[in-house]
Amino acid sequence: MEKFSDNNFQVINMNYKLKKIKNKKKNKNNYKNIETIETLDNIQNENIEENIEKKEESKQKIEGFQDKDYDGIDNVSDKKKKSKMSLIDKLTELINKIYNFFLNANNVIAKKLAMKLSKNKATEKDIFLIRQYIVWSESVLAAGYVSYNIFFIMYYKDIDGTKLIDISRKRAEEYENELSNKGSLFFPLAKIFLYIFKYSIYLTESINSFLTNNNNSVNENSSINEEKDINYSTIFFFIFLFLIIFFKKSAAFMKDFLINALKFKYTIISGYVLITIILLWGSDFINILITKLKNLSKGGSVTDLCLFFLNRFIKLILSLALGVPMSIIIFVLYIYIYAFGSIIYYKNFSFTKIYETISGINELIKKNKIKKEVDKNSFMEILGLNYIMSIIDFLYSKLILIAFIIIYIAGSIDYFKKISSKSGNLKIGLIFINICLIIIFSLLIMLFYKLEQNNDIIQNDN
């Protein structure tokens, strides 16, 4: 019988433990849901290789396509589709585009001029300063043209008998009745418009009335040589001066003004419009209510009165929600259309009539002087206003040229103080250009003065 040795015992014991471990079931409870790793499982090599092959095959297939199907072109756009823009957003974007167009145009001109003169050494501050004086120059040109349009609707319309469009709520209601009587297809639209926006016309109506109904207006029977307490050249001068400042300062203001109106963000002016609409609605409400109560006392229907209250409440809500921004939009459109196009429109787009109208305005202004005989103790004489108006009478025909000279003198001083010393010859170049322009405009003033003197001599001789 074979002797049982210690070595055999150890081998048998080890084999027993290995068999026990192999046969022991593993606890598959995975309380934290941690993904098991296949290489740590007790699986056969064949299964491992099979799993690897399946994984590689699945990687090659993306949305049902294999690598061989890829043509190297990615047609999938990563950009998210833009959400549909509302009408307000579209109008806001349009206003910003118009504003940025003019802003960028001036910036390009200023930058090219600055870089040319400085040999690409100009700073952003230099470019900004140059752009400011470009805008001032544009403002003078715009003011010179618009002043004639404003003066035309204020005074000259009465000289040539031009009948302006009546811009008022009364005229709008009359137009609605005209469409109704004609059976026009536009009548329902006009009725809806007036129902919501009747009170929105008030702001533009007030401005139009202020501009076109002047106590100092001349009429067709007035003599063109009639002398005035306040001469027309002084009125034209202040219109011109106001418009220069308006065009220089108003671009960003008008942009924000319109956008705020579209987005129902109220400012001081829109607050005024809001209060005005409430007061106008209240006035109409009381007048109609009195009539309704009289009808009710005579046997009228209570239902009719209730419908009246409902109707007026809806009208108020719509007028406040939509009427305030519309009031501002109508006002801005009126200002810009009348300012830039009143003479053109009322003279039927005829260049000949436009030229004759502007020439007629010049003649009216020149020949309507202040009174030669004035009371020495009068308020205007004490303040020296008559003397100032006499100077304006003399300088009237050269206002635009004088404005350019003043701007370029101020510009030269600004360039000398603010243009960077590191910008090469930019400072010298800009001041030189301004001095040349000042000399040219001064010579033109002297030339026009001599021509006017010769014309006066010829007229006196005749």
**What is the mean predicted confidence (pLDDT) over 183-189?**
88
Instruction: Identify whether 86 is part of a domain.
Output: no
Smallest CA-to-CA distance from 402 within 362, 361, 367, 448 is with: 448
* Between 340 and 388, the higher pLDDT residue: 340
Smallest CA-to-CA distance from 338 within 152, 156, 196 is with: 152
Smallest CA-to-CA distance from 209 within 258, 165, 243, 269 is with: 165
Q: What percent of the chain has pLDDT over 70?
A: 72
Alpha carbons within 13 A on the beta-carbon side of 255: 16
Instruction: Name the strand (E) or helix (H) holding 268.
Output: helix 268-297
Residues forming a β-bridge with 65: 62
- For the ranges 18-32, 199-213, 302-316, which has the lowest average pLDDT? 18-32
Query: According to the model, what pLDDT value does residue 371 have?
Result: 54
Per-residue pLDDT at 53 exceeds 80: no
Calpha distance 374→405 (Å, rounded): 33
Query: According to the model, what pLDDT value does residue 1 have?
Result: 44
Residue 370 φ then ψ, to 5°: -75, 160
- 150 Cα distance to chain centroid: 21
**What is the mean predicted confidence (pLDDT) over 224-242?**
77
| Its pTM surpasses 0.85 | no
Per-residue pLDDT at 323 exceeds 80: yes
Residue 162 φ then ψ, to 5°: -75, 130
Instruction: Identify whether 67 is part of a domain.
Output: no
Q: How many domains does the chain have?
A: 1
Query: According to the model, what pLDDT value does residue 461 have?
Result: 60
pLDDT digit string (tens) for 406-428? Answer: 999 999 999 999 998 888 899 99
Instruction: Identify whether 203 is part of a domain.
Output: yes
- If you average pLDDT over each of 273-282, 324-333, 368-377, which comes out highest? 273-282
For tokens 């080890």, the residue is 14
pLDDT digit string (tens) for 112-163? Answer: 999 999 989 999 999 999 999 999 999 999 999 999 999 999 999 988 889 9
In which band, very low, low, confident or very high, does the pLDDT at 13 lie, cut at 50, 70 and 90? low
Instruction: Identify whether 46 is part of a domain.
Output: no
Calpha distance 94→259 (Å, rounded): 10
Q: Could you tell me the two tokens for 334?
A: 């009126």
Q: How many other CB atoms are found less than 10 A from the CB of residue 222?
A: 13
The whole-chain average pLDDT of the chain stands at: 79
In which band, very low, low, confident or very high, does the pLDDT at 228 lie, cut at 50, 70 and 90? low
Domain interval for residue 201: 117-452
**What is the mean predicted confidence (pLDDT) over 85-109?**
85
Query: According to the model, what pLDDT value does residue 217 have?
Result: 47
Instruction: Identify whether 257 is part of a domain.
Output: yes
Instruction: Identify whether 305 is part of a domain.
Output: yes
Query: According to the model, what pLDDT value does residue 254 have?
Result: 77
Query: According to the model, what pLDDT value does residue 424 have?
Result: 86
Instruction: Identify whether 275 is part of a domain.
Output: yes
Calpha distance 431→434 (Å, rounded): 5
Calpha distance 436→431 (Å, rounded): 9
Smallest CA-to-CA distance from 260 within 248, 249, 247, 273 is with: 273
In which band, very low, low, confident or very high, does the pLDDT at 373 lie, cut at 50, 70 and 90? low
pLDDT digit string (tens) for 330-362? Answer: 988 898 888 899 999 999 999 999 999 999 998
**What is the mean predicted confidence (pLDDT) over 199-221?**
77
Is residue 203 within 8 Å of residue 331, measured between CB atoms? yes
pLDDT digit string (tens) for 265-300? Answer: 766 777 888 899 999 999 999 999 998 888 888 877
- 144 Cα distance to chain centroid: 22
Query: According to the model, what pLDDT value does residue 56 have?
Result: 47
Query: According to the model, what pLDDT value does residue 41 have?
Result: 43
**What is the mean predicted confidence (pLDDT) over 313-322?**
91
* Between 370 and 26, the higher pLDDT residue: 370
Instruction: Identify whether 37 is part of a domain.
Output: no
- For the ranges 16-25, 103-112, 340-349, which has the lowest average pLDDT? 16-25
